A and B are shown apart, each in its own frame.
Chain A
């Protein structure tokens, strides 16, 4: 078993991994940047090593400094968490070369899944469904039209060299194909200096459904069911849940089989996730492979809650060479779980990220409520890193029980000093379409502005009046920057609601 684990990450995921290590008697080594010297993940670890300046490229993305820290602290393994270096094959290989266990897949699997086009070809070979599409070698109008007919309408015309949605044209009616093609070609040429086009089946109002997979180094690979992550704003997941309300048992089984085939096709070991687009509902739904996330996911607690396993424990055991502690037939889903991501952002100001001190902090509690957080009272939220502060994970016997529990928990979660998206999450959880579980990946991009605008902005009058009369505590706590006008009655006047 791993004896001493260096955690090459920060925030909530570093703390979550430290907890798992405590339970398994594995010693922990935290790493930290200048900005994180006082962060909770540093004080909670058994050992801590400073690795560089605040910008991530000097610290959490500095693989040499991290491997040096592992040697200096006599760690025998490295857990990359998610983000930062977690999916970088050269880092996994560097760990291996330095004699360290990398808690994750082999570098070769990271490489194979890291190339979108390579992964797509591999998946097609492994009979994992992918979104039909092609880049015809012959780029004439007729050849592209023929490609669209093979792919099937509605189609999306995309610049082959492109990205970021630039030059993409949706065509629902074959008669409109010619005009869209000409426009896409002009934009591709203007934006990317290359007018080659890719024609892809347009999946209308898809859901994002992903399958957790786990493989050991003894040839066992299982899937651990799905997570539904359609509630995303600009491709950033906001709320995840399991089970997916749109999935029938038969489709769930077929997706699980496909995800296991995908993992086996790249020689996968440890925890990974296959992301799919789901089109339609029930037994007639179709699914298409998007990509594989070759690491532990942010939303892994949703799976832990409904399946009753600890994915980080299993990661550490598998990385130590042990076989999976469960078989496919021994795994089942029970009840429903919902995760809400708490971001430091202001929904009323176009979701701009927030930075600053957390003046007051209190987490919700109660049955079926789990908080994975990276902050505490007095933490300074920095401009240097991802604005996700914490995750609220709730479970209940049914989706409705879990939804109500999520609302109750968020209404208890007090974070003062910076704005968060908690009021926005409350609006989503109460939206009729979310209540009915009938959302697709475009839901928040369509409804987000209206939801943000419906956040209450006035306090109950009695609360406002009481708060305005309350004497400022500034100065009495020795906080610097007190008002020069020291008269307390002066500060009471003119509070504005």
Chain B
């Protein structure tokens, strides 16, 4: 893959060539080729939107600007991987936010009604 600058690359496979654009977000790699766009989740940030912080700690983040409509966990509470810990609402759609791992809720950093931005820590699990 030859870099062409500004996030563009030339991919050559035999006699076929593609101009590809790549942009990395904290949780995914975005790829553009010929009008097609693909978003590839990074392995450390699967669909749970959680992210490993250090050994044994994880934080739960908002995937997009949204309003917190429910918080199903309080500090000190044990949660299992996949539990819905927070429910967000954006553009009239509910987005359940799941715990990336099992553990104890260390802290909740949002309140019901908050408008939260992507990448903001909503909840920490130890």
A residues apposed to B, CB below 8 Å:
352-357, 359-360, 362, 382-383, 410-417, 419-420, 422-423, 426, 456-457, 459-460, 462-463, 466-470, 472-474, 479-485, 490-491, 493-497
Contact residues in A for B64 (Cβ distance below 8 Å): 354-356, 383
In the bound complex, CA of A462 to CA of B32 (Å): 14
Are the CB atoms of A417 and B25 closer together than 8 Å? yes
Which residues of chain B come closer than 8 Å to A497, judged between CB atoms? Answer: 38, 40
B75 interface residue (CB < 8 Å to A): no
Q: Please name 26 pairs of A and B residues whose Cβ atoms are closer than 8 Å in the assembled complex, sorted by A.
A: A352-B93, A355-B65, A356-B65, A356-B118, A357-B118, A360-B6, A360-B7, A382-B65, A412-B35, A416-B22, A419-B37, A422-B37, A459-B38, A460-B18, A462-B11, A466-B1, A467-B31, A474-B24, A474-B26, A479-B26, A482-B26, A483-B44, A484-B51, A484-B52, A491-B42, A493-B43
Q: Determine which of B13, B26, B39 lies in contact with A462 in the assembled complex, contact meaning CB atoms within 8 Å.
A: B13
Residues on the A chain within 8 Å of B35, using CB: 410-413, 422-423, 426
Within 8 A of A (CB), among B82-121: 90-91, 93, 118-119
Contact B90 A480 (CB under 8 A): no
**Interface residue count on the B side (C-beta < 8 Å):** 46
Are B20's CB and A496's CB within 8 A?
Answer: no
What residues of B have a CB within 8 angstroms of the CB of A415 in the complex? 32, 37
Inter-chain contacts of A457 with B (CB < 8 A): 38
| Chain A residues within an 8 Å CB radius of B93 | 352
Instruction: Give the distance to chain A from B78, nearest Cβ to Cβ, in Å.
Output: 22
* Measured CA separation A497–B90 after assembly (Å): 26
Contact A462/B43 with A360-B21, A481-B51 known, Cβ cut-off 8 Å: no
A479 cross-chain contacts in B, Cβ below 8 A: 24, 26
Residues of B within 8 A of A416 (CB): 7, 21-23, 30-32, 37
In chain B, what residue has the closest Cβ to A425? B35
Contacts known (A383-B91, A462-B11, A473-B24); A360 close to B41, Cβ less than 8 A:
no
Instruction: Indicate if the CB atoms of B34 and A411 lie closer than 8 Å.
Output: yes
Q: Does A472 lie within 8 Å of B29, measured CB to CB?
A: yes
> Given A352-B93, A459-B33, A462-B11, does the pair A470, B22 have CB atoms closer than 8 Å?
yes
Q: Say how far A113's CB is from chain B's closest CB, in angstroms.
A: 30
B68-85 contacts to A, CB under 8 A, are none
| Contacts known (A416-B21, A417-B25, A466-B20); A355 close to B90, Cβ less than 8 A | yes
Q: How far is the CA of A226 from the CA of B2 in the complex (A)?
A: 47
Contact call B65/A462, Cβ cutoff below 8 A:
no
Q: What are the 10 closest A-B residue pairs judged by CB atoms, nearest first?
A: A462-B13, A494-B43, A359-B23, A411-B35, A481-B26, A416-B30, A360-B23, A416-B23, A466-B1, A414-B32
B23 with A483: CB separation less than 8 A: no
Bound-complex Cα distance A362 to B64 (A): 23
In the complex, the chain B residue whose C-beta lies closest to that of A354 is: B64
A241 and B119 alpha carbons, distance in the complex (Å) = 41
- Tell whether, in the assembled complex, residue A470 and residue B38 are in contact, meaning their CB atoms are under 8 Å apart: no
- Please determine whether B40 and A495 come into contact, CB atoms closer than 8 angstroms: yes
